[in-house]
Amino acid sequence: MTAPLRSGEPIVVQVALGTRAYDIVIGRGLMASLGERVKALRLGAKTAIVTDENVAKHHLAAAAAVLKSAGIESSAIVVPQGEGSKNYATFETVCEAIIAARIERGDLIVALGGGVIGDLAGFASASVRRGLDFVQVPTSLLAQVDSSVGGKTGINSRQGKNLVGAFHQPVLVIADTALLDTLSKREFRAGYAEVAKYGLLGDAAFFTWLEANWKDVFAGGKSSGSLAREHAIAVCCRGKAAIVARDERETGERALLNLGHTFGHGLEAGAGFSDRLLHGEAVALGTALAFEFSARKGLIGSSEAARACAHLAAVGLPTHLKDVPGGVPGLDALMDLIAQDKKVKRGKLTFILVRGIGQAFIENDVDPAEVRAFLTDKLA
């Protein structure tokens, strides 16, 4: 459910995982507290900051400075920007750099970046010395509301997205909303797809709030929009934290968080994990397809499906296959990519479908012929 807007102190959301519980701290200007928060977690620890070239230009010096001011030694590992860095070669580079920096088990990795960096640094943390603790400092909206929370880490295979990885929870997430000020409009909009997803899958009241307040969420800054932005991020984090606490390793309801991802990951892979289609844009398009497929199956009224698609389109997100620059894969190729989705069980397709806005459910054993017929119409 939604919660009232608030101001003042940072919003703290706990991910309740027993002895591995951790906080998500949300607010403006929180980067300044990174050093003291890390020191409180691991007194005397060294850190390695994993980031990308673009984020490094904006935020690396500040992160290193606040760590230094708290008496914490840090080294930087900078990788190329973009989804292309979620590969075996860059994973090896990051792992070797962590080892070369003499980061020990009692030290910390700081993932400073968007979803790509969080996934990559998290997977390296899970792997080096058989497990290092790490702190997420997400710098994109998508990462602040979704990928930095819940412990999914990994890299892409040539055969699909996030097919190699591990569940490895962070020990802290610092979501400084001021860091979002440096995002391009396209990057922020792509992240908003994950915000809308939380309303569409399980919180109809939040979706209604987004329809009325999305412009304030986009405005952000130090205006009243900052409260709207923090509120939206907090609602998403509370929703995800609750699901992760109940189903950490996605054996059941956590799969609901993949609304839009089965279609979306196939489209993203078909675009070569390139700037032609950002992850959030693929999620938006996949979510529109999931609602339309649900309507085709008679699970939801066409007007309600149209409402969901209309909101995504209103903020500038793609909702039709023709919206993808350069086109999408052919039917056979797209079906092959969908069949590589991680929710496939014994070769049977699983989709997250909906019975209404805020009423997503897991549909196992979806008939591939039905999906093929639906996509044939959409591709036409």
Active site residues: 130, 152, 194, 240, 250, 254, 258, 261, 265, 279
Q: Which stretches of the chain are DSSP H helices?
A: 34-41, 53-55, 61-69, 88-100, 115-127, 141-142, 185-202, 204-219, 224-246, 261-270, 279-296, 302-314, 331-338, 368-379
Region of 7 please: left (phi>0), alpha (psi -120 to 50) or beta. beta
Give SS3 for 48. strand
What are 349's strand-pairing partners? 366
In whole angstroms, what separates CA 207 from the centre of its chain?
Answer: 18
SS3 label, residue 228: helix
- In degrees rounded to 5, what are phi and psi of residue 367? -65, 115
Beta strands 152-157; 160-167: pairing state: antiparallel
The structure tokens listed for 168 are: 């490895």
CA pair distance 271, 274, nearest whole angstrom: 6
Cβ atoms of residues 115 and 191 within 8 Å: no
Type of residue numbered 127: S
Are residues 236 and 194 in contact, defined by beta-carbon separation less than 8 angstroms?
yes
